[in-house]
Structure 1
Amino acid sequence: MNTDSLALSAGPLLLRPWRPDDAPALLAAHEDPVMRHRLATVVRDAGEAERWLLVQREGWESGGRFGFAVTDPAADGALVGHVVLKGLVPGTGSAEVGYWTTAAARGRGVASRALEALTGWAFAEFAGSAGLRRLELFHRAGNEGSCRVAERCGYPLAEIVAPPRPAPGHRHVRHASPGASDR
């Protein structure tokens, strides 16, 4: 998939594939103690940022992971978050979505807008070609903000998940609307 001109609109926000020059903003975002607590993968230095960005690029190239930087054009394109579609295996009918927002962006609807844009894109792009019918969203237990985002975006709570995931959490699920693969 050619990502050079790919961009998704999410209200006033823009979602685009990650670029190598995003490393400083990525590092700054990961300085947030809340993110360090909630994320399974934390970026702590320039080398880790380069490796994380490489994983994003390789995911696009392989078709197994589609990570988007969420930016705010009204703030000179500042990074405000990340959304990702991952685990897409043709024929399984399901994949996983995830997201995070920068500390300064929390409480502004960034996660909801970005997740809704990613969800629409995922079902439109992969319902027919990969048979995508179901998206799953996981978050750690106690992350009430993520529960609200999931519910707001049409991902009702499906179950409480215990380890072996990295930590106890919640699984939310959204199904494609009928006829989604006909588009």
Structure 2
Amino acid sequence: MIIETPAAPPFPALRLCRWSPGHAPALARLERDAALRRWTTFPALADAADAGRWIGEQRRAWEAGERFAFAVLEPDGRLVGHAVLKVAGDGTAEVGYWTAAHARGRGVAPRALEALTEWALKEIAGPTRLELLHQADNTASCRVAVKCGYGLASTLAPAPPAYPVEGHVHVWNYGRIAST
């Protein structure tokens, strides 16, 4: 499964594809980023073997129809991020993403999120509500969510230790699909 996104001058197009074992070394290097550790619940990966196990989990969840995780790549194959759709049994699905440190500020997150959202609405049967959650103090994610049509719906109370600060729940504006 590959999703292509258009170029965003002056930056190249992006490809979203299923994670594969070949992505493990690059993923293990990118995962060490302090900002990624701060803003996501992405698990700590000690090395490429850990990354390979994580990729295997993503592939199994894909086959089960529970979680659709994509590596976000530049045309040359360089890993620049991650996008995911997690399906809940209640008609709700949650989208998420992260951008590699070397690719931040280049529109990777909004382009990947827009492509993921469009794919989810066309290819996945069932979700009647798409949500995006992030820490309330993550203003960059808030901007990405709003830019991509996910309006702020509510604030979540902190739930330590996993979620030590307030969170935002954004919900996809289904009125935007008329243009797709």
- TM class by shorter chain equals 0.7 to 0.9
State the partner residue of 1:61: 63
Q: 1:50 aligns with which of 52, 65, 79?
A: 52
Q: Name 1:3's counterpart in structure 2.
A: none
The letter for the 2-side match of 1:27 is A
- 1:67–1:83 Cα contact (<8 Å) kept: yes
**Alignment partners' CA distance in 2, 1:43 and 1:86:** 21
Structure 1 unmatched runs, 5+:
1-5
Paired AA for residue 55 in structure 1: E
Shift of 1:143: 0.7
8 A contact 2:27–2:48 mirrored in 1: no
Q: How far, CA to CA, are the matches of 1:23 and 1:120 in structure 2?
A: 27
Residue of structure 2 equivalent to 1:141: 136
| Structure-2 residue corresponding to 1:82 | 82
Deviation of the 1:175 alpha carbon = 4.0
- Structure 2, unaligned runs of 5 or more: 7-12
Q: Please give the secondary structure, in 1, of the residue aligned with 2:35.
A: helix
2:26 is matched with 25
Q: Which residue of 1 aligns with 2:100?
A: 102
Aligned AA for 2:102? Answer: A
Structure 1 residue identity aligned to 2:83: V
The whole-number CA distance in structure 2 between the counterparts of 1:20 and 1:119 is: 25
1:65/1:88 contact within 8 Å kept: no
Alpha-carbon distance in structure 2 between the residues aligned to 1:169 and 1:44: 28
User: Counterpart of 2:150 in 1: which secondary structure?
Assistant: coil
Alignment of structure 1 residues 150-161 onto 2, 5 Å: 150-161=145-156
Runs of 4+ aligned residues of structure 1 deviating over 4 Å after TM superposition are none
C-alpha distance in structure 1 between counterparts of 2:80 and 2:176, whole Å:
32
Structure 1 residue 178 displacement after superposition: 8.3
* Aligned positions, number: 169
**Contact map agreement 1:65 1:85 (CA 8 A) in 2:** yes
RMSD of aligned alpha carbons: 1.9
